[in-house]
Amino acid sequence: MTDSETYRTQFLDALLALDQPRAQRAIQDALAEHLPAQELIDRVVNTALEDVRAKQTNLDITLSRMYIMARIVEDALNRLLLAVPRPPEPLGTVVIGTARGDYHGLGRRLVATFLRVAGFKVVDLGISIENAQFVNMAVSVKARAILVSALLIHTAEELIGIREILRARDLDDEIKFIVGGAPFNFDPEFWQQVGADAMARNATDAVAVVRRLIAQPNG
Nearer to ligand B12 (CB atom), residue 110 or residue 214 = 110
Spell out the SS3 assignment of 119-131: CCEEEECCCCECH
Residues of the shown chain interacting with ligand B12 in the complex, contacts defined by CB under 6 A: 63, 66-67, 70, 101-108, 110-111, 147-149, 151-153, 178-182, 185, 200, 202-203, 206
Least Cβ distance, residue 179 to ligand B12 (angstroms): 5
Complex with ligand B12: residue 6 or 66, whichever CB lies closer: 66
Give yes or no for a contact between 205 and 111, defined as CB atoms under 8 angstroms apart: no
Nearest CB to ligand B12, comparing residues 2 and 62: 62
Please report how close the Cβ of residue 84 comes to ligand B12 at its closest, in angstroms: 18
Of the pair 108, 116, the CB lying nearest ligand B12 is at: 108
- Distance of alpha carbon 49 from alpha carbon 27, whole angstroms: 14
Nearest approach in angstroms of CB 67 to ligand B12 is: 5
Strand locations in the chain (E) = 93-98, 121-124, 145-149, 176-180, 198-199
Residue 179 and residue 147: Cα distance in Å, rounded? 6
Residue with Cβ nearer ligand B12 (29 or 74): 74
Q: How far apart are the first and last CA of the chain?
A: 39
Distance CA 75, CA 113 (A): 10
Contact of 150 with 159, CB cutoff 8 Å: yes
Give me the least distance between CB of 50 and ligand B12, in Å please.
8
Q: Rounded to the nearest whole angstrom, what is the least distance from the CB of residue 34 to ligand B12 in the complex?
A: 27
